[in-house]
Structure 1
Amino acid sequence: MERVLSGLRAAAEPTRLRLLSLLAQGDLTVSELTHILGQSQPRVSRHLKLMCDSGLLDRFPEGAWVFYRLAATGTGADLARSLLPMLPAGDTTLALDRQRLDQVRAARAARAQTYFTENASRWDQIRSLQVDDAQVEQALVATMAGRRIADLVDMGTGTGRILEVLAPHIQRGVGIDLSREMLAVARANLERAGCRHCMVRQGDITQLPLADSSADAVTIHQVLHYAAEPARVVAEAARVLKPGGLLVLVDLAPHALELLRDQHAHRRLGFSDAEVDGWLSAAGLRSDGQTRLAGDPLTVVLWRAIKS
């Protein structure tokens, strides 16, 4: 009872209702909210703290920034989602907030595109050596067929593409990446695609900011060849998987292209089935087969595993 009353008190103020409306649309920082609301940062911060304390909002530190979003679970989340349909669709203040939110998103997208354009050439070179991305994505979607996936975790999410591809097949998705620049790209991409049930967070994929047994599925797409300790990444994926949960590793079969190590920071030149199976077994996962997609000269492999 007290939790409900606390949430109602926290929401019962015009600015806080505006914040609920805005943060139901996705992640925003204090500075972005200050721009949209036209209020001082200390005042906005006080509202946000009260709403976080009452469970209406979640906060996610990311370097010097903090992102806020409508709470994902709990009494506060249920209350917030119950209040949102009650907000009048034609309210002029909320309409102006939405216009300013569109401006914030456009600025984000422009910054993300600048970063992506400046770095796209190195990704294009790698793509030209392997099977077409569309084939890999189709195979990845096929691995999810027939499974009920409430919560998906994409480790090393990069541009957020895997979340975008799998969004129609999941209830919620979270992508974890250490690079703030890549997270900016991912946020812009997910917003453009309308994937409001997906989010991205800054974090180390060897120490995920997630609870044990909290995910129905985990994807690790073209990440392990950068990892200093791939087995540790696999073990961390196993930690957050629920029993019966699915892990899909997508990476390269063994190859001899040293340019990927010299020019693109690959630590490992692909992985054998035996090596991957060893990591899976050590992490308490049962191999569920592989799918091989031959490119020229690189072959992409999808390794599937189930948590016992």
Structure 2
Amino acid sequence: MSLSADQTVEALRAAGEPTRLRVLSLLAGEELSVMELSRILEQSQPRVSRHLKLMADAGLIERFPDGARVFYRLSSDPLAHRLIDTVLDLLEDSAGAADDRRLEEVRRDREAAASAYFERVAPQWDRIRSLYVCESDVEAAILKAAGDGPFERVVDLGTGSGRMLTLLGKNARMSVGLDLSHNMLNIARANVARAGLDKVELRHGDIFATRLPEQSADLVLVHQVLHYLADPAAAVTEAARLTAPGGRLIIVDFAPHQLEQLREEHQHRRLGFADDEMRRWLKGAGLNAGAATTLPPDTDGLTVSIWTAERPAGTKAKAA
């Protein structure tokens, strides 16, 4: 397939303006909110919004509301992506240097806020995690999704207090937990020792670049982590990379909701994930997704979704 002449001209017109080229270059790295783009570009939010609307109308970028915020990312259409890549390849490497510096400031501010939050709440983490739905129901559903085992190697990304390791570790020959918070890791070490598990490795590590071997785990978990991340799709891709042929990836997170206060109070970046969005990420990472399990709360609050996906035997992982 290819773009028609009219479609190509419309797309090039939409891209052919300095600010819009800057936006495309920024979104090539990660999805960003209007407020973040306004800060990086040093332009007013209404002005940035006008540029974004023009590019969205031309099919170059995608707009997705998330609670009261709106995020943007490059179009998932392969032809649009190919045109954007071609245009960006022609730009000078130094053209967006100032934008890149300000993007790094935005990232550092995000990371600092998240790090301070996790260090502060680490001792109460399990209690906070269970505020919105019965945790015993969630854990029962996770055990069912994981299957009977035994597991050769379990990897828990964003392990927090290590609860997933203590839940599944007794049925695993080896387990690995990664987290960016040293305070969390110390609590996880204490919990793992208390549970009598000795074949558990706890590492300070980044979910986007775990440095763990490709296809090395027959069970990978990402439990209540994605809603904190700037690029959840990249984290899904990395988790899938670790999943061995015939192995299983389990993702636990919230369904879409409107509790805006969680952004400020608990550093949530995304207000849940839709099933079709998650299934698209899993498919793009080379996994076959099963039916999602949803666990609504007994009272008003957050619904928990559990997605299970498997890597078909004989397939290779896609690069993260």
TM-score relative to the length of structure 1: 0.60
Partners of 1:118 and 1:249 in 2: CA distance: 22
> Partner of 2:210 in structure 1?
208
Rounded to whole Å, the distance in 1 between the matches of 2:193 and 2:308 is 29
Is 1:304 aligned to residue 308 of structure 2?
Answer: yes
- Measured in 2, the distance between the counterparts of 1:145 and 1:122 equals 26
Q: What percentage of residue pairs aligned between the two structures are identical? A: 44
Give the 3 Å change call, closer, same or farther, for CA 119–178 of structure 1 in structure 2: closer
Residue 190 of structure 1 is matched in structure 2 by 192
Unaligned runs of 5+ in 1: 1-114
Deviation of 1:117 (Å): 8.7
**Residue aligned with 2:152, SS:** strand
Map 1:279-294; keep pairs closer than 5 Å. 279-294=281-296
What is residue 18 of structure 1 aligned with on the other side? none
TM-aligned CA distance change 1:164 to 1:116, over 3 Å: farther
Residues 119 and 150 of structure 1: CA distance in aligned 2, closer, same or farther (over 3 Å): closer
Report the Cα distance in structure 1 between the residues aligned to 2:172 and 2:253, rounded to whole angstroms. 22
State whether structure 2 residue 243 is matched by structure 1 residue 268: no
Q: Distance in 1 between matches of 2:119 and 2:180?
A: 16
Contact 1:213 1:242 in 2 (8 A): yes
Residue 144 of structure 1 and its aligned partner are, at CA, apart by 2.1
Change (3 A) 1:148 1:288: farther
CA RMSD of aligned residues (A): 1.9
Q: Deviations over 1:147-172 (max 9, x none)?
A: 44110000000000100011122111
Q: How far is 1:248 from its partner?
A: 0.3
CA contact (8 A) 1:164 1:195 kept: yes
Deviation by residue 1:127-181 (Cα, 9 ceiling, x = unmatched):
32x2111111111111122344110000000000100011122111100111111
Change (3 A) 1:142 1:285: same
Picking from 157, 179, 182, the partner of 2:181 is 179
Q: How far apart, in 1, do the equivalents of 2:301 and 2:271 lie?
A: 12
Per-residue CA deviation, residues 67-121 of structure 1 (Å, 9 max, x unaligned), is: xxxxxxxxxxxxxxxxxxxxxxxxxxxxxxxxxxxxxxxxxxxxxxxx9896555
**Distance change >3 Å, CA 122–CA 178, structure 1 → 2:** closer
Please say if residues 122 and 264 of structure 1, whose CA atoms lie closer than 8 Å, have aligned partners that are also in contact: no
Structure 1 position 213, deviation (Å): 1.1
- Greater strand share, 1 or 2? 1
- Aligned partner letter, 1:306: E
1:165 aligns with 2:167: yes
Equivalent residue letter for 2:191: N
Secondary structure of the residue that 2:153 maps to in structure 1?
strand
| 1:208-233 deviation per Cα after TM superposition (whole angstroms, max 9, x unaligned) | 12111111010000000001101100
Unaligned 5+ residue runs, structure 2?
1-117, 313-320
SS at match of 1:289: coil
SS in 2 for 1:171: coil
| Alignment of structure 1 residues 235-246 onto 2, 5 Å | 235-246=237-248
Pairing 1:1-308 to 2, within 5 Å after superposition = 119-120=122-123, 124-125=127-128, 127-128=130-131, 130-295=132-297, 296-308=300-312
- The alpha carbon displacement at 1:123 in A equals 6.0
Aligned length: 193
TM-score, structure 2 as length reference:
0.57
Contact 1:116 1:185 survives alignment (8 Å)? no
**1:238-264 CA-partner distances (Å, limit 9, x unpaired):** 111111110000000000001111111
Amino acid at match of 1:304: T
**Structure 1 pair 197/155, CA: closer, same or farther in 2 (3 Å)?**
same
- Pair 265,196 (structure 1): closer, same or farther in 2 beyond 3 Å: same
* CA positional deviation for 1:198: 1.6
| Whole-angstrom CA distance in 1 between matches of 2:149 and 2:125 | 35
Structure 1 contact 148–170 (Cα < 8 Å) conserved: yes
